[in-house]
Each structure stands twice: as structure tokens, then as C-alpha cells.
Amino acid sequence: MSILKILGAKLESMTQADREIAQFIIENPERMLNLSSAQLAEETGRSQSSVVKFSQKLGYEGYQQLKLAVNKAKAQEFHAPAGVIHGSIDASDSYMTILQKLIGSKLLSMRETAAVNTEETIDLAIDSLLSARRIQLAGVGASSLGARGFFLQASQAWAHRAGR
């Protein structure tokens, strides 16, 4: 998974200092590639050691390796996985093209989710949902369909467990 997507997914759980560095990289990846660690620190109002430590927290030896990962992410940004079509659905798309785009989008979302979350994190989320007395769902627009789908699946699982 792209380091830019990983940063976006982890943004809310980061410390304020790391969040500011990550936000800068997400919003300005090309610019970041031309900055030294000292220059990035200056741009984000952080210390050079904060930038290096940020890189290390992400699993890189240092800032240069982070830059390589960002460069790779930018290079691969417009390449779809082999055999997968994804993108916006156009009125002129055929039925099969629409179907391929929908499947490609779902596969890409699932791969990105799996790449950002460990198995332990997923297990913890499942345990939390199963032990919850109440789960509130909200969605606006297309997100409401996901919330409704979750509700229907959970209702069926609960009814099955209750022997109904």
C-alpha cells in the first residue's frame, strides 16, 4: 500500500507533531521530495530530529527512505493493479465496464484496509462490535448504504444467534 494512503489512514491516531508532518507530506508530496529533513522541519514548524523520528516510526531507517517511499507512491499513483479497472463510472460505460469498475473499487478498498490494519486490530474491532450493547450507525449519501448494509448483516447474525 502507498505510504500516502497509510499516512492518511493513520492521521487521526498520530501525535500533533507527527500529524503536521504527515499532513504536509499528504498535501505536498512532490514538494516534500525536493526538501531535506531540515527544510521539511522548517516548513512544518518541527525539529529536524522530529522529521527523522517520524520516518523511523513509519518503519524506515531515516528520512531518505521515507522520501523513496513517497516517490514510489507518486509513481504508482495512476497505475491500476493488473487486471483491475477502477475509476469513475461514466454514462457511456458498458454494463461490463461498470461491473469491473465496481469490483475493482471494492478490491482496492479491501486491500488498503488490510494493509493498514493488523489482524490483531481487526480482531479487537470485531470483539468490540460483538460485545457492544448498542451500535449506532450514521451515513450521508452513499455512506448511508454502507450503514444500512451493516445493519442488515448484523440483524441477520443476531437473529441467527438468537435462534429466530
Enumerate domains of the chain plus CATH numbers: 3-76 (1.10.10.10)
pLDDT at 57: 95
Q: Characterise 27 by phi-psi region: left (phi > 0), alpha (psi -120 to 50), beta (else).
A: alpha
Q: What is the dihedral of CA 60, 64, 69, 74, to 10 degrees?
A: 160
Specify the pLDDT at position 149. Answer: 87
Give pLDDT, residue 82.
53
State the pLDDT at residue 81.
Answer: 53
pLDDT at 52: 96
CB 112 within 8 A of CB 6: no
pLDDT at 28: 94
Amino acid 80 reads A
The per-residue pLDDT for 99 is 86
Q: What is the pTM (predicted TM-score) of this model?
A: 0.53
Please give the pLDDT value at position 111.
76
pLDDT (tens place) for every residue of the chain, 164 residues total: 789 989 999 999 999 999 999 999 999 999 999 999 999 999 999 999 999 999 999 999 999 999 999 988 887 664 555 555 556 788 888 888 888 888 888 887 777 777 677 788 888 988 898 888 888 888 888 788 888 888 888 888 777 777 75
Model pLDDT, residue 37: 95
> What pLDDT is recorded for position 53?
96
